[in-house]
Amino acid sequence: MARRANLSSTHSGFFNNQATLAAQFRLISVDLRGHGESRSNGAAPTVEALADDVAALAGHLELEDAVGLGWSLGAAVIWLVLTGPQGHRFAGSVIVDMSPRVLNGGDWQLGLSREACDARSEAIAGDFKNFAVNAGQAIFAQPVAAERQDDAAWASREFARNDAATIGTLWSSLMGEDFRPLLGRIRQPALIVHGVHSQLYGAETAEQLAAALPDARAVAFPRSGHAPHIEEPVLFNQVITDFAAGLPRVRTVQTARN
């Protein structure tokens, strides 16, 4: 099946269905640089810059035993944070529908084709409004279910709020990344979430990612595309809750070693 290239040009509002988790967790929703209410202020953001921002926030908040949740582009950010100087603040991570390498090539064919990636670049530069409409629809299982039509229309409008130049720069940055060498360094347990009807990455991508991480397992959402947290929120929230409940506390582990 042909895969459509999609960079989740989203913001914290796309996780509104997870607000109920506040009864059990301290929730920190982040608008990445150039997304939502977080602007790039004229700078050309890269994936590394976004990760530096999140790491700085984790340090500023003095987080302990955090669970980092990254969806699409956000997953790449989480991988960089976990392998950086603030990684010790995280007890685990949840990765939602992402490939460790977006652009296929050589020994990696579980991402997106060069043609799909180039088509996305052209769409962003040539007609961002039309791109945003299509991207908002594409994050959902196709055809979009009647009960998700309003969500899809909202997603398209929110995508369109982004700055085309910023999204184009980030997309170019992401296409040049290969996170596979980092995966073996991530010791925190990881949950790999995959939508069965995703138009981006197949089940094999999720399985390969889980196998490459030292401590990870994959879970499939049967009625979802690229956005299980929107399409199956009740199941998603329960899976997250169960995963977090089984994580060892980082401080406890460190104290025991001392």
* 3-state secondary structure (DSSP) of residue 191: strand
Question: 64-257 adopts what CATH topology?
Answer: Rossmann fold (3.40.50)
Instruction: Dump pLDDT digits (tens) for 122-176.
Output: 999 999 999 999 999 999 999 999 999 999 999 999 999 888 888 899 999 999 9
pLDDT of residue 2: 37
Instruction: Dump pLDDT digits (tens) for 198-224.
Output: 999 999 999 999 999 999 999 999 999
pLDDT of residue 131: 94
Domain limits, the chain: 64-257
pLDDT of residue 254: 41
> pTM score > 0.85 for this model?
yes
pLDDT of residue 142: 96
pLDDT of residue 221: 98
Angle of helix 164-175 versus helix 47-60 axis, rounded to 10: 100
> Residues 60-80: what's their mean pLDDT?
96
Q: Does pLDDT of 1 surpass 80?
A: no
The single-letter DSSP state of residue 121 is H
More confident residue, 109 or 1: 109
pLDDT of residue 235: 98
The alpha carbons of the chain give a radius of gyration, in whole angstroms, of: 17
> Residues 55-82: what's their mean pLDDT?
96
pLDDT of residue 162: 86
User: Which one-letter amino acid corresponds to residue 115?
Assistant: E
Angle at alpha carbon of residue 219, lines to 218 and 225, rounded to 5°? 115
- pLDDT band with cut points at 50, 70 and 90 for residue 248: confident
- pLDDT band with cut points at 50, 70 and 90 for residue 249: confident
Percent of the chain residues past pLDDT 90, beyond the cut: 81
Instruction: Dump pLDDT digits (tens) for 17-47.
Output: 999 999 999 999 998 887 767 666 666 789 9
Judge contact between 94 and 243, C-beta under 8 A.
yes
Average pLDDT, the chain: 90
Angle of helix 73-82 versus helix 47-60 axis, rounded to 10: 60
pLDDT of residue 39: 67
Percent of the chain residues past pLDDT 70, beyond the cut: 90
Judge contact between 155 and 182, C-beta under 8 A.
no
Tell me which residue of 72, 29, 44 sits closest to 167, measured CA to CA.
44
Q: Does pLDDT of 4 surpass 90?
A: no
pLDDT of residue 208: 97
pLDDT of residue 43: 66
Burial of 184 (0-12, 13-18, 19+ CB in 10 A): exposed
